[in-house]
Chains A and B, each alone.
Chain A
Amino acid sequence: MRRFILEGLIGRALTETAPGPDAEALEQIAASLSARARKRLGRSLAIRQVDAGSCNGCELEINALSNPYYDLERFGLHFVASPRHADVLMVTGPVTRNMAEALQRTYNAMPAPKWVITVGDCALDGGCFAGSYAITGGVSDVVPVDIHVPGCPPEPVKLLSALCAMIAGN
């Protein structure tokens, strides 16, 4: 245990330098976030993640955001357990029919103002699962979407810059 503490004190931090906000995401967010809303949120956002039928690949990369390399919390971003504490809903998966209601209800449980960010190709329009009887066809068919992060799955750095775009500009 002592070794870890010492290393932590004298070692070099692993954390990546912060990526710039993703230009495309910045544009998307500028359109949906009014200056007033941004002011109210300050530089801190609480995120509630919902898997609406992903293959679990996107979850792995979202979880990676909390490892010491990406260290999401240094940006004032953190994941919360309850939708009632959340500003942002982060959704993965093509929204299976079996999950659509749960997704809708999670969204409804969030206080306004609120935003939705979709992660991964299949969250956009079903991706490689498009056309299946078991999916609705994408997150925007169920809840309004503000930002989309493409990739299968998107790399953590991409996720990070999209999230940075959400808090940038204040």
Chain B
Amino acid sequence: MSRPPKLLWTRSRDFRALPFQVSDVPPAGWTALGTLLAEGKITLLGLWAEAPGVAMALYDPATRRVAVTRVRSRRGAVPSIGASHPPAQRLERAAADLTGLRFENAPDPRPWLDHGRWDIAHPLAGGAPHPGQPPYAFLPVKGESLHQVPVGPVHAGTIEPGHFRFTAQGETVVRLEERLGYVHKGIERLMQGADLARGAELAGRVSGDSTVAYAWAFAQAAEAALEIEVPARAFFLRGIMAELERLANHLGDFGAICNDAAFSMMLAQASVLREEVLRAASDCFGHRFMRDRIVPGGVTADLSAEGASRLRALLDRIRDRFPVLVDLYDNTASLLDRTVGTGWLSPTLAGQFGAGGFVGRASGRDYDTRRDLRYAPYDMVQVEVAGRKEGDVNARVWIRIKEVEHSLGLITQMLNTLPAGPILAEPVSLGETRSGLGLVEGFRGDILAWLSLDADGRIARCHMRDPSWFQWPLLEAVIEGNIIADFPLCNKSFNCSYSGHDL
């Protein structure tokens, strides 16, 4: 086996300010990187097709540096990383669907996003008429007294569509197989050739619940590529918006998780607080989800003095009400009976998949982009990172609770140190091709945005990787050995994005 190739590892403060230098590697080196990933020495941040081959973003936890590397395809094929490192498998299947590239030795060559219903095949590679596709082959199951329960794509509640195939023995789930891709909208193709404004609009609609974080990741990538100097005030306003988004989501999900354990009162109470966050966001920034407020170069909505005091009042209100709810959670035995020990995710799997957000942090993965790959304004405030090791539903709930508290603190810090000044710098194209990387901690985990611009400043390629890519497969592992009736609870405690994943 060949030695792993030398890559250009970049520190956070460098790749956030400058275009990204990609390291090209030969196929043998690419395979060696797969081995390094499998050994757990480095973490996979993303993998996507980009002419003339496939690119991969990697994180080295020891040095807190990031590398982007690329291998050229030969006769339409590249070596599979998924062959040695399973977290890459679905990313490779998606890349194959979108471009027609083949991944040599890929253990699972089935299509992923392409359900055989598009007019064209391989949309990112020109798009020839679709030749059609045989029915999807679910994994075979063998064994005594097994039965299958297919669920979806349309689910019972007001949630996103996806298909789950449970194989159960009695009540116990022995395997869950997910099939996703139902909400694939072709965003990456729509991005091609678009200008930055249109790109930001689309980025903000990849996953609605994380619209701030996505717009921010996209803006970061554009700003790094074009070396735009963003005004300091804009950074702080972005931080405030992102923490409001985290608050709203954590509060809402806290209630929803309890509701899935048949404790509906918590949903009512928590959804009141969530609603109040959204109303404050609307009053301060003009949109309940603060959509389209972050753009390359800064932000489009400023915070007035009244807005700031409106936010302080909101924080006081949550500081007053939320602990009561937490107490109630912690003192309701029937609720804890459902959440403690349910849906266990092992620290090994969380580490292997580089699971972001509360999913990873509840299973001992001590990582937060806001601290480990710092970006403004988090380099100017005190960032705390919650962590637990139990890896069950209860641990994930507690990470959310802690993060609510941390977000309250962060918003206060940002309001206290909010600098005056302009909020937007106009992006200017530099007349040459450029690439930039954005990495933002959304409420669900780290969102990656990779952006390549052509000489006119138009988008040549934009790839956005939702944290769910590395969480969905873990949900399959987590439900094993649990009863089917606990699936909604496990699922909600993950709350992966369908739209963010399917794009």
Instruction: Check if A and B associate.
Output: yes
On A, residues with C-beta under 8 Å from B are: 1, 3-4, 14, 49-64, 66-69, 79, 81-82, 93-94, 96-102, 106, 122, 128-129, 131-135, 152-153, 155
- Of B169-177, B207-215, B366-374, the segment with at least 4 beta carbons within 8 Å of chain A is B207-215
Residue of B nearest to A100 (CB): B117
- Given known A54-B499, A67-B275, A98-B115, contact A128–B269 (CB-CB < 8 A): no
Q: Is B51 an interface residue (CB 8 A)?
A: no
Residue of A nearest to B292 (CB): A152
Contacts of A69 in B (CB 8 A): 272, 275
Contacts of A59 in B (CB 8 A): 158-160, 208
Q: Is the CB of B183 within 8 A of A99?
A: yes
Q: Is the CB of A134 within 8 A of B185?
A: yes
Q: Is B190 an interface residue (CB 8 A)?
A: yes
Contacts of B282 in A (CB 8 A): 155
16 A-B residue pairs with CB within 8 Å: A14-B272, A50-B161, A51-B161, A51-B183, A66-B271, A67-B271, A67-B272, A96-B183, A99-B161, A100-B117, A129-B190, A131-B190, A133-B118, A133-B119, A133-B123, A134-B186
On B, residues with C-beta under 8 Å from A are: 115, 117-120, 123, 127, 153-154, 156-161, 181-187, 189-190, 201-202, 205-209, 211, 252, 265, 268-269, 271-272, 274-275, 278, 282, 288-289, 291, 324, 328, 332, 497-499
Q: Report how far A50 CA is from B154 CA in the complex, Å.
A: 7
- Given known A56-B207, A69-B272, A97-B117, contact A133–B157 (CB-CB < 8 A): no
CB distance from A14 to the nearest CB of B (A): 6
Q: Report how far A26 CA is from B497 CA in the complex, Å.
A: 35
CB distance from A61 to the nearest CB of B (A): 8
CB distance from B331 to the nearest CB of A (A): 8
Q: Report how far A14 CA is from B272 CA in the complex, Å.
A: 9
Contacts of B499 in A (CB 8 A): 53-56
Q: Is the CB of B289 within 8 A of A51?
A: no
Q: Is the CB of A93 within 8 A of B275?
A: no
Contacts of B278 in A (CB 8 A): 64
Q: Is the CB of A98 within 8 A of B289?
A: no
From B127, B158, B205, A55 is in contact (CB under 8 Å) with: B205
Contacts of B127 in A (CB 8 A): 133
Q: Is the CB of A134 within 8 A of B184?
A: yes
CB distance from B332 to the nearest CB of A (A): 8
Contacts of B252 in A (CB 8 A): 60, 63
Q: Report how far A58 CA is from B288 CA in the complex, Å.
A: 12
Interface residue SS majority, chain A: mixed
From B118, B120, B157, A81 is in contact (CB under 8 Å) with: B157
Q: Is the CB of A129 within 8 A of B117?
A: no
Contacts of B207 in A (CB 8 A): 55-56
From A1, A68, A122, A132, B271 is in contact (CB under 8 Å) with: A68
Contacts of B157 in A (CB 8 A): 79, 81
Q: Is the CB of B209 within 8 A of A60?
A: yes
Q: Is the CB of A4 within 8 A of B272?
A: no
CB distance from A83 to the nearest CB of B (A): 8
Q: Report how far A50 CA is from B275 CA in the complex, Å.
A: 23
CB distance from B160 to the nearest CB of A (A): 5
Contacts of A60 in B (CB 8 A): 208-209, 252, 289
Residue of B nearest to A109 (CB): B154
Q: Is the CB of B205 within 8 A of A128?
A: yes
Q: Report how far A135 CA is from B499 CA in the complex, Å.
A: 14
From B119, B189, B211, B324, A3 is in contact (CB under 8 Å) with: B324
From A62, A67, A132, B186 is in contact (CB under 8 Å) with: A132
Q: Report how far A153 CA is from B275 CA in the complex, Å.
A: 15
Contacts of A102 in B (CB 8 A): 153-154, 161, 182
Q: Is the CB of B117 within 8 A of A4?
A: no
Contacts of B265 in A (CB 8 A): 4
From A64, A66, A132, B185 is in contact (CB under 8 Å) with: A132
Q: Report how far A100 CA is from B278 CA in the complex, Å.
A: 32
Q: Is the CB of B158 within 8 A of A133?
A: no
From B202, B289, B332, B497, A128 is in contact (CB under 8 Å) with: B202
Contacts of B184 in A (CB 8 A): 53, 96, 98, 134
CB distance from B419 to the nearest CB of A (A): 31
Contacts of A93 in B (CB 8 A): 183
Known: A81-B157, A96-B183. 8 other contacts (CB 8 A): A54-B183, A56-B209, A57-B205, A64-B274, A98-B115, A128-B205, A133-B119, A152-B291
Q: Is the CB of B208 within 8 A of A133?
A: no
Residue of A nearest to B121 (CB): A133
Q: Is the CB of A129 within 8 A of B185?
A: yes
Q: Is the CB of B208 within 8 A of A57?
A: yes
Q: Is the CB of B271 within 8 A of A133?
A: no
Q: Report how far A152 CA is from B202 CA in the complex, Å.
A: 12
- Given known A3-B324, A97-B118, contact A68–B160 (CB-CB < 8 A): no
From B160, B190, B497, A51 is in contact (CB under 8 Å) with: B160
Contacts of B118 in A (CB 8 A): 97, 133-134
Q: Is the CB of A132 within 8 A of B189?
A: yes
